[in-house]
Amino acid sequence: MQVAIASGKGGVGKSTITASLLYFLKDRYKLIAVDADAEAPNLGLLLGVEEWEEEREHIGAKVAKINTETCVRCGICYERCPYESIYIDEDGNYIVNELTCEGCNVCGLVCPVPGTITLEQARSGVIRKATTKYGFPIISAQLDVGRPESGKLVTEEKEWAKKLMDELNLEHMIVDSAAGIGCQVIASIGGADLTILIAEPTPASLSDVQRAYKVVQHFRQPAYLIINKADLNPGFTALREWAEAEGIPVIGEVPYDRAIPKSMAMLKPVVEAFPDSPASKALKEIAERIAEEILG
Amino acid sequence: MQIAVSGGKGGTGKSTVAINLAVELARRFKLVLADLDVEAPNDHLLLGVELAGEEPVNQFMPKFDYSKCTKCRKCAEVCEEHAIITLKDGTPFLMPNLCSGCRACEIVCPVPGAILEAFRVIGHTYVTETPYGFTLVTGKLREGEERSMPLVVEAKKRARNLDYELLMVDTAAGTGNTVSKAIEGSKLLIAVTEPTPLGIHDTELILQLGKLMGLKTWVVVNRADLGDVGKVREIAEKYGAEVVAEIPYSENIVRSYVSGRPIVLEDVPEAKIFRELAERVAGFLGGGE
Ligand code: SF4
Ligand code: SF4
Ligand code: SF4
Ligand code: SF4
């Protein structure tokens, strides 16, 4: 089974909860973890990965290049670039800003001087694999700075993970998805059997998880909700009300607990670092419910 | 003039810093705050305001006039997004979700009128007057849309068309090219970070981006008491950046976050930190280094 874990926004505890659930579930199932947050991957760090066993470069993005020798400075590319990624430097040369170029090649198509603008392959990042100290493998990616948002990177991560599942005879893939609702998240959630949403009782987190849920609905998947820092904001009932109205089962609540940031500073799942903390107890219960009601 | 608030990873308190700085700086500058975290825009919630002035962002997509199309496949070949698939006989079909609206297909199509202009709404922009003396511009990507770049571009355009002395942009998390697009044109980049090992790892990336873009960069350490600020300083130094403020973990900030009332307006010690930071920013902008 493929389970995506998403939150719509960063910083609500998605990775630490994911790491903790993996920690419990590894004893019952043969798992693989995928860190699909290619812009800020940290699941590997949380699971104590220090060295990657295998690393593959991902050459996917394209960037335009202008040959200033042949350019006649007509400015057509500058006007037509849909993302305003061409600028004019102090010497009057037309230059592509590689940090914002989307590689659509519109400039190359409109340039009147053949061969002046070329579209070149660029590295968009790396995908890597390791075996965690808990025995299960993890696939993670790191997008290069300034590269196009890369759902493709996530898609490739998942393909690699699927291959490993076949080779190693694994049962479940747990995908820690990126923040937001864009292509990385769509690639994370797409193809999963179900999504576990994580949110905290704040207006911002509610708004973001609602948006993530719409992506889940788009794929017609079942969704579940874990409420983190559940006691943070007792007056705020809108999160639970929303889940109830949408028919999203709440599979557990994790109380606010200083053990969580402390465990993160130690780069350990909280359930390993502080097994008796209130958060860890709650997470253990949640893992049991996931095993019984979802993974079977 | 433009400055940017960013942070390598989500949840570091980037928006908290952005809105509090905006409230404070609005006393000195005619200010516009642009929330360019288009996948998860939250500044309006933190400010306790309802979004207003909605405008759809329409994105071009090709529509084929099959009575004219010669099935030459050129449009499909040129589409970098592989948004056009062709049948065996060459008939093109669009997969709207993949289309970025770049118009490359329209440019190469050799038959006038075979590709017609169609549009779809990929999100919205908003212009909201806040009760704090500044205008908030928000970009919001529609759920199910994959590409946030066009929305970042549109929201930034809408902000730039307003009348202001200082434009402040709040970016998405991460260091992809939509973050660089948001930051582009800034005189100062304020990177919000946490002193945890994870936070430090991501800070390095945003500092790299700042350096690549040749920007003056400052670092604000949030939840400074949860880790080793010395490590953040080390990394900052490596990239020629400077740690300019430390914000402790604080229940007051959490409460203000939840209630949608900026903390600089309260009479608490944390407010002072934001006021001093704002002063420093104002000094930097006024004096111009
Ligand atoms: S490839 Fe597209 S985004 Fe890049 S510079 Fe050319 S027109 Fe602009
Ligand atoms: S369109 Fe071609 S010739 Fe004209 S400015 Fe751009 S690169 Fe130069
Ligand atoms: S507009 Fe661009 S992305 Fe859309 S179909 Fe045409 S070439 Fe492809
Ligand atoms: S390029 Fe124009 S004529 Fe050729 S297949 Fe596409 S729409 Fe039809």
A64 and A17 share a domain?
no
Distance from CA of A6 to the nearest CA of B (A): 13
Residue A224 lies in a domain: yes
Find the B94 Cα to ligand 3 centroid distance in Å.
9
Residue A194 lies in a domain: yes
pLDDT the model gives residue B8: 65
Q: Which CATH superfamily is domain B2-57+125-287 in?
A: P-loop containing nucleotide triphosphate hydrolases (3.40.50.300)
* A33 against B204, higher pLDDT: A33
A264/B contact by beta carbon, under 8 A: yes
**Range with lowest mean pLDDT among A50-64, B107-121, B252-266:** B252-266
> What's the whole-number mean pLDDT along residues B113-129?
96
Judge if the beta carbon of residue B104 lies within 6 A of ligand 3: yes
Query: Taking the mean position of all CA atoms in its chain, how far away is CA B170?
Result: 5
Find the A143 Cα to ligand 2 centroid distance in Å.
30
From the list B46, B104, B174, the residue facing A40 with the nearest CB is B174
A92 and A42 share a domain?
no
- Which stretch, A154-158, B137-141, B196-200, B250-254, has highest mean pLDDT? B137-141
Judge if the beta carbon of residue A116 lies within 6 A of ligand 2: yes
Which H or E element spans position B216? strand B216-221
pLDDT the model gives residue B289: 38
B92/A contact by beta carbon, under 8 A: no
Residue of B nearest to A200 (CA): B258
Distance CA B262, CA B27 (A): 14
Q: How confident is the model at residue A69 (pLDDT cuts 50, 70, 90)?
A: very high
A113 and A163 share a domain?
no
pLDDT the model gives residue A234: 83
B42/A contact by beta carbon, under 8 A: yes
Tell me the CATH number at A82: 3.30.70.20
A66 and A186 share a domain?
no
Q: How confident is the model at residue B264 (pLDDT cuts 50, 70, 90)?
A: confident
Exposure on the CB side of residue B72, measured as CA atoms within 13 A: 13
Q: Where in chain B is the domain with CATH 3.30.70.20?
A: 66-113
Give the Å distances, CA to CA, from A82 to A78, A86, A106, A175, A283: 9, 10, 8, 33, 47
Number of domains in chain A: 2
Judge if the beta carbon of residue A95 lies within 6 A of ligand 1: no
A23 and A77 share a domain?
no
Judging by beta carbons within 10 Å of its beta carbon (0-12, 13-18, 19+), is residue A30 exposed, middle or buried? middle
**Nearest ligand (C-alpha, residue B71):** 4
Minimal-distance CA residue to ligand 3 atom 2: B102
Judge if the beta carbon of residue A83 lies within 6 A of ligand 1: yes
pLDDT the model gives residue B267: 82
Pairwise CB contact (< 8 Å): B181 & A83 = yes
Q: How confident is the model at residue A9 (pLDDT cuts 50, 70, 90)?
A: confident
Tell me the CATH number at A6: 3.40.50.300
A40 and A164 share a domain?
yes
Give the ligand 4 atom nearest the CA of B111: 3
Find the A94 Cα to ligand 2 centroid distance in Å.
7
Position of tokens 């998947």?
A221
The identity of residue B116, as a single letter, is L
A140 in helix, strand or coil? strand
From A123, A157, A174, give the residue that closes a domain.
A123
Q: Where in chain B is the domain with CATH 3.40.50.300?
A: 2-57+125-287
**Residue A22 domain boundaries:** 2-49+132-295
Distance from CA of A12 to the nearest CA of B (A): 7
A122/B contact by beta carbon, under 8 A: no
pLDDT the model gives residue B288: 40
Minimal-distance CA residue to ligand 1 atom 4: A101
Q: Are the beta carbons of A85 and A111 closer than 8 angstroms?
A: no
How many CB atoms lie under 10 A from the CB of residue A79?
11
Q: DSSP for A40-89?
A: S--HHHHTT--S-SEEEEEEEEEEEEE-TTT-----HHHHH-TT--EEE-
Which H or E element spans position A240? helix A238-246
What is the length of chain A? 296
pLDDT the model gives residue B226: 78
pLDDT in tens, A111-167: 999 999 999 988 889 999 999 999 999 999 998 888 876 788 999 999 999 999 999
pLDDT in tens, A231-244: 888 888 999 999 99
Query: Taking the mean position of all CA atoms in its chain, how far away is CA B206?
Result: 13
Q: Are the beta carbons of B52 and B128 closer than 8 angstroms?
A: yes
Q: How confident is the model at residue A38 (pLDDT cuts 50, 70, 90)?
A: confident
A294/B contact by beta carbon, under 8 A: no
Pairwise CB contact (< 8 Å): B102 & A214 = no
ipTM > 0.90? no
pLDDT in tens, B186-195: 999 999 998 8
The tokens describing A152, both together, are 């493709």
pLDDT the model gives residue A178: 84
Judging by beta carbons within 10 Å of its beta carbon (0-12, 13-18, 19+), is residue B263 exposed, middle or buried? buried
- Which stretch, A94-103, A254-263, B69-78, B252-261, has highest mean pLDDT? B69-78
> What is the model's pTM?
0.88
A165 and A265 share a domain?
yes
From the list B12, B145, B205, the residue facing A11 with the nearest CB is B12
Domain B66-113: give its CATH code: 3.30.70.20
A38 and A95 share a domain?
no
